Structure 1
């Protein structure tokens, strides 16, 4: 059983578990990094499939130098230390971290006119509100993670999980679980509010009222919950032990259960949920910008490539039609219908300081109630 840690704040850091930041090889420390026949990519393990890399190098003569990263903060610090002349041409930034990189002038606005295959990305990912900042696109979405409603298919019906209401159904009392802080954002959405709290950034009283209403909802239904959990391994074990039949969870641990043949499925209910997107970004003043665009366009060329990325990484492909190149079991573990995806919103960071000042005490109050 894979042990995937899925607390929202640590999910980004741990999603490429086992990948270590590599010491900078010689070519990244020398002027050779600016040779026209190379492109330097900082990314997570398995995000650029080996077969694709070999084919691209053979067809173009461009050498793809991959440096593995395992943490958004470390990547930011490394790139900031090299500014204004980075060795990296492409970096991998989660959409809700864009502002930090953009405000530090580390990324170049993405010229989508140079990407003939841009239209191969599902617009749910490429055209969502998080993807455009200051009138510009800043990255090519490649993979996504989402908060889902997971359920035991031998006990809970597909019709029952069309709404988050099922988490509060008397028939499943004591058989549900969730991560409180992550659930708070989803429940704000369930109640009709902006779980990112960007809408209330200039209205702290409204923000406080919404958090209080959400807190009270979870306190009122606290007796429905078997356990407030912290890690993906915990929710996996609870499903396996049949301690629970319903859970709010990140898709990664549930995908692992599905792949292992356990009778569990996941969905995004009609009220929606939240997720994040990994994007490939062109650095500001990178040494091989032309080659960076050639690599990005090649990566976006075929849905088969998106499927390869999903198989290797475990994340959800953003490519149109990628699911058609997955087995039935792989589709169950890593894809959603268009109807489900229509309810998926994405984390944004603009109001995070205010949001977590309100959420953190509310979480403790729910635990103590």
Structure 2
């Protein structure tokens, strides 16, 4: 009688065979430049997964974790966090190998890579990496280094508007938040680096260089500050929380302004059909939640296969709508296209912040934004 191999047993068998066959090359390197030991490419019995809690954890459990466990005969041990700072602190203070997969967001990905808390991804072990939209294939959080994170879904800081008050027949542009006709009805996010980033987009500048046709950063950022001061006279409120944002648009204190797609989606679900959300033609700041493999993971190959599984069209297509954000892969469906943050350009409208550029300049951005708000610019 021939014993039927399950998926995990098959991968173990083939991985071990490959390792034995290449034992004479025990010092060879993987595509990430790290040394690959014999037998390292084997599926393990368990995987320790540290993720967002709440509805995100529920969706991941339903659409990724449970199907992965069934297909690969792997037990995924879950734990969750409520905030990125706490997650990063726990990973930093834990011994290596305490976690296999963690979920850093955009800025935390940078910190995790810089602090050597995550392993480089061995992309040869993630066959579905080609499913990613081009903008995410090059999502290297620490420039010049290896790929450390696998973007799962994305969101944006785009524009919301009231269709009863705002005409979008000529398309959606950040210029609408500078239009005098909406004076006192404009709401923008009150975070200095977001204000600078979005204003640079409005001016047609690369927000990670802020030079444009000005010739230098010094001259370019001066143009950005001037535009922020011009817009200040139109702004009713610089909101700093999701609750403030939803209140401003639901009670029509604001007609147009910066917003989070997820919050507008919630309002639409509550019957506010006159509210729309869009990525303006100039683009919008993007963010992403990612999978990363924690430093010292003893189940690194299994973690890579977990990422590979999550990127499968049949998996992520069902996950994304339930989480409420579009997938980082190219797969689409009517449910995905209906999500507020969906970028119909295939990712060309998504602009991600260069964290080194931000860290270099954000103190000056913050000080100048405070001066603008006080009328002292």
Whether the TM-score (by the shorter chain) exceeds 0.5 is yes
Q: Counterpart of 2:10?
A: none
Deviation sequence 1:160-187 (CA, Å, 0-9, x none): 4432111112222222111232222110
Match of 2:310 among 276, 291, 299: 299
Counterparts of 1:284 and 1:238 in 2: how far apart (Å)?
A: 43
- Residues 49 and 312 in structure 1, CA contact (< 8 A), matched pair in contact too: no
Match of 1:326 among 335, 344, 349: 335
Q: Counterpart of 2:9?
A: none
Give the aligned CA root-mean-square deviation in angstroms. Answer: 2.7
Q: Counterpart of 1:258?
A: 268
Q: Counterpart of 2:355?
A: 349
Question: How far 1:273 moved relative to its partner?
Answer: 1.8
Change (3 A) 1:325 1:38: farther
- SS of the residue corresponding to residue 64 of structure 1 reads strand
- Within a 5 Å distance, the mapping from 1:135-284 to structure 2 comes to 135-180=145-190, 181=192, 182-197=194-209, 206-262=216-272, 263-284=274-295
Give 5+ residue unaligned stretches, structure 2. 1-42
TM-score, normalised by the number of residues in structure 2:
0.78
Change (3 A) 1:360 1:257: same
Change (3 A) 1:332 1:143: closer
Change (3 A) 1:82 1:237: closer
Q: Counterpart of 1:14?
A: none
- SS of the residue corresponding to residue 257 of structure 1 reads helix
Change (3 A) 1:231 1:161: farther
- SS of the residue corresponding to residue 136 of structure 1 reads coil
Structure 1 stretches of 4+ with a deviation exceeding 6 A read none
More moved, 242-251 vs 43-52? 43-52
Change (3 A) 1:99 1:355: same
Structure 1 or 2, whichever has the larger Rg, is: 2
TM-score, normalised by the number of residues in structure 1:
0.79
1:365 is aligned to 2:377? no
Counterparts of 2:211 and 2:294 in 1: how far apart (Å)?
A: 30
The answer to which structure, 1 or 2, has the higher relative contact order (CA under 8 A, 6+ apart) is 1
More moved, 268-277 vs 214-223? 214-223
How many aligned residue pairs are there? Answer: 325
More moved, 164-173 vs 312-321? 312-321
Deviation sequence 1:132-164 (CA, Å, 0-9, x none): 743421121102121101111233233344321
